[in-house]
Structure 1
Amino acid sequence: MVSEASRPDAAGNLDLARYTLTARVEIAHHLRAIAQAGPMVTVFSNRGRTFILTRFLEVDAKAGVLIFDWGSNPETNRQMLESERNVFVCSPDGVKTQFVTGAAREVEYEGRQAFEADLPEQVVKLQRREYFRIQTPVVNPLVCLIDDFPEGPVELPLYDISLGGIALWLPTASAPGFELGQRYERCRIELPGVGPLNVALEVRHHLTVQQRNGNEAKRVGCYFLNLRPAMENLVQRYVAQLERERRAR
């Protein structure tokens, strides 16, 4: 199991402040809309080692609480109650929402068990569909060929993709050549069923991930530079294709 830090982040290389709700009224309104729409919500607990799938049942702005459905697994429910920090992630209609709460409490809601947590102090809400980030396949992963890497062309597997950019896995946590701000002008990704994506990249952020074997790996978030309309269209088509495949499963 990867660490909680390796979960898809809410906004990748975007300016988070532009997409963060901080007013209690706005937060309650947005979470209430999610509750009414009824999508599944993933809640990571126990430092990201466990998760439950749930739905929001009620948002009480006056009491400052969020009530969400009891999970199906007794053990993960127990770990949820013992977790001091919980990360909520959902994507209703492709608009990704992520926030963090403190500990959850067991309550009764309409005659059945439920969880209750204090409303979060802030909620990250991606309002633009085209920046929705989606993980790329693990089996037969996409690779990015960086042709102008200083030590010669290198191929790196992708972790995810969006119209804003991509995340790449480095071969080792200490691999050189991917410092923040580093740019590569000649990069190519073959998008199955769509075509070749030729882009320029700039390294914007790093994330160290704890693997199952205890070793550390590093993921780097890269921003597309001056993405041409034709290339934007390819990315949009591929993201839509992956989303259709995910929903079909």
Structure 2
Amino acid sequence: MLHSDHAQPDLTRYILATPVEVVHHLASIARSGHMVTVFSNKGKTFILTRFLEVDAKRGVLLLDWGADPATNEQLLASERNVFVCSPDGVKTQFVTSAARKVMLDSGPAFEVDLPEQVIKLQRREFFRIQTPVSNPVSCHIADYPGRPLDLVLFDISLGGCSLWLPAPHAPGFDLGQKYQNCSFELKPLGSLRVGIEIRHRLTTQLRNGNEAVRAGCAFLNMTPSSETLVQRYVGQLERERRALVG
């Protein structure tokens, strides 16, 4: 599981628990064609896929077959799978039992039993994960007034990121401020080019007693390929974090 900005008990009010609600929501994701990340084998592996069909009569969900045979086999061998996606900025998460291989007219596909419940979070409640301190990620703001500016990331999610400001009262980071020409090097996966909008500021005290300010930003103009890149990067960080923990 990725870290949440909110306490777990709050999730109860976002749970879709009736079969009609579950089918309706998953069918809308299938129609949208959004990418879905499936974490398998206790989070050690993941696959990016799309929903092909929600079959309410049979109680199953059909998923696109992956391009990598080894990853496909890892998913088939996993007893419990966590699905995560964010269509239109609304975070969706659910758990299923093992996936099965089925043959369709178009070729092989995965089939899983429909989940009993789905967590559907609001736009602001993305799961965030901290970026590595040892190998920091920078946000290059090309349209910062006067000269381009590079800021270090504190964390990242599909919805946005937190940036360390160069000084507590650095100009140009008022709430609502937008920058359209920003780039992030998400090594080794590629470069993310998006806009950002400042949504909040948080003052924290460092170990040396000095104050530092983080600006919470929402990503602007995200494309499906940008979402996929961030999903893959977040998945990579989560796997690395799990490996360090244990």
Fold shared by both chains (TM-score > 0.5)? yes
Task: Provide the rounded CA distance (Å) in 2 between the counterparts of 1:43 and 1:81.
Answer: 12
Correspondence 1:91 to 2:86: yes
Partner of 1:200: none
Report the CA distance shift for 1:133/1:96 in structure 2 as closer, same or farther (over 3 A).
Answer: same
Aligned to 1:103, the other structure's residue is in SS state: coil
Aligned to 2:37, the other structure's residue is in SS state: strand
Amino acid at match of 2:61: L
Task: Provide the rounded CA distance (Å) in 1 between the counterparts of 2:221 and 2:173.
Answer: 17
Give the structure-2-normalised TM-score. 0.58
Partner of 2:21: 26
Partner of 1:116: 111
Partner of 1:247: 226
Aligned to 1:68, the other structure's residue is in SS state: strand
Task: Provide the rounded CA distance (Å) in 1 between the counterparts of 2:129 and 2:49.
Answer: 21
1:41-80 equivalences in 2 (<5 Å): 41-80=36-75
Task: Provide the rounded CA distance (Å) in 2 between the counterparts of 1:247 and 1:77.
Answer: 23
Report the CA distance shift for 1:100/1:191 in structure 2 as closer, same or farther (over 3 A).
Answer: farther
Deviation of 1:111 after TM superposition, in Å, equals: 3.1
Correspondence 1:132 to 2:106: no
Give the conservation status (yes or no) of the 8 Å contact 2:86–2:158.
Answer: no
Note the aligned Cα RMSD (angstroms): 3.7
Report the CA distance shift for 1:25/1:244 in structure 2 as closer, same or farther (over 3 A).
Answer: closer
Task: Provide the rounded CA distance (Å) in 2 between the counterparts of 1:73 and 1:129.
Answer: 32
Aligned length: 171
Task: Provide the rounded CA distance (Å) in 1 between the counterparts of 2:67 and 2:158.
Answer: 32
What does the per-residue CA deviation read over 1:162-215, in whole Å, with 9 as the maximum and x for residues that have no partner?
Answer: 99xx9xxxxxxxxxxxxxxxxxxxxxx834796499xxxxxxxxxxxxxxxxxx
- Percentage identity across aligned positions? 51
Unaligned runs of 5+ in 2: 139-152, 176-197, 203-214, 230-246
Give the structure-1-normalised TM-score. 0.57
Report the CA distance shift for 1:159/1:42 in structure 2 as closer, same or farther (over 3 A).
Answer: same
Correspondence 1:190 to 2:190: no
Partner of 2:242: none
Report the CA distance shift for 1:121/1:20 in structure 2 as closer, same or farther (over 3 A).
Answer: same
Unaligned runs of 5+ in 1: 1-6, 143-156, 167-188, 198-230
Task: Provide the rounded CA distance (Å) in 2 between the counterparts of 1:29 and 1:102.
Answer: 20
Amino acid at match of 1:103: A
